[in-house]
Amino acid sequence: MTAQTLERPALAVEGLEGGYAGSVVLHGVTLDVRPAEIFAILGKNGMGKTTLLKTMMGLLPARRGRVEVLGADVSRWAPYRITRLGVSYVPQEKSIFQDLSVEENLRLALRELSEFAERLDAVARWFPILKSRGRQRAGTLSGGEQKMLLIGRALLTRPRVVLVDEISEGLQPAMVTRLREVLMEERRATGLAIVLVEQNVDFALALADRYAVLKVGAVVETGRTADAGARESVERHLVL
């Protein structure tokens, strides 16, 4: 890897404004995430975390500002083009096909089916339960298993950047631990950059290198999770 590619952010957002018809939610969000970095976006309910991810992904229009992925300005791109550039998105709402099998859900993520067997092996390494339930209807999986399926599906395509919206919510501790291991291992093995929207401060701080706190659609604080006082500072923002 050259110095230039190391310096180029995996994801950069600058002065981003966006929201819904008639309501501006994001008021000039600026942040950047480097390759192989895990970046947590924290904030209370309704502060604009999901809106930010959806705008990054092209699912909501950017009214002002820019979103860059691996140096390309994707601000006006359709979601499928952003996906093809190497961005995976794990939405907050359940988005698996309940009536299809686990394997069918995974297969739909891939454009190149010749790779499927090999990628299915990767999923089996991450979450063995998904392999053993391959032919089972996805809607019959437990809530936690469905989240494993969502993450498996997002990682299947070998993304460069993955955006994950509140994956730890409602998960049992053992599953949270496994998720953390998988995400850290993929980051180490592939240089994947991970943007993690979370309300679980413990999970976010244990996993992330850096964080930003979002309040009413604006970044009010950023820092390194290893910094002394990071937790106190984040928690203060989450109660006030």
Ligand X SMILES: Nc1ncnc2c1ncn2[C@@H]1O[C@H](COP(=O)(O)OP(=O)(O)OP(=O)(O)O)[C@@H](O)[C@H]1O
Residue in 46, 71, 143, 170 binding ligand X, rule: CB under 6 A: 46
Phi, psi of 214 (to 5 degrees): -105, 130
- The yes or no reply on residue 20 touching ligand X (CB under 6 A) is yes
- Residue number with CB closer to ligand X (106 or 205): 205
Phi, psi of 54 (to 5 degrees): -65, -35
Binding mask 75-94 for ligand X (x = CB under 6 A): -----------------x--
Q: Which of 214, 223, 226, 237 is nearest to 50 (CA)?
A: 214
- The yes or no reply on residue 25 touching ligand X (CB under 6 A) is yes
Nearest-10 crossing angle of helices 173-190, 143-156: 0
Residue 105 near residue 138 (C-beta atoms within 8 A): yes
- The yes or no reply on residue 43 touching ligand X (CB under 6 A) is yes
Whats the size of the chain, residue-wise? 240
- Residue number with CB closer to Mg ion (49 or 187): 49
CB of 94 to ligand X, least distance (A): 14
Region 64-103 residues binding Mg ion, contact defined as CB under 5 A: 92
- For 210-228, letters b (16+ CB in 10 Å) and e give bbbbbbebebeeeeebeee
H or E element at residue 31: strand 23-33
- The yes or no reply on residue 167 touching ligand X (CB under 6 A) is no
- The yes or no reply on residue 50 touching Mg ion (CB under 5 A) is yes
Binding mask 2-41 for Mg ion (x = CB under 5 A): ----------------------------------------
Q: Which residues bind ligand X (CB under 6 A)?
A: 20, 23, 25, 43, 45-51, 92, 199
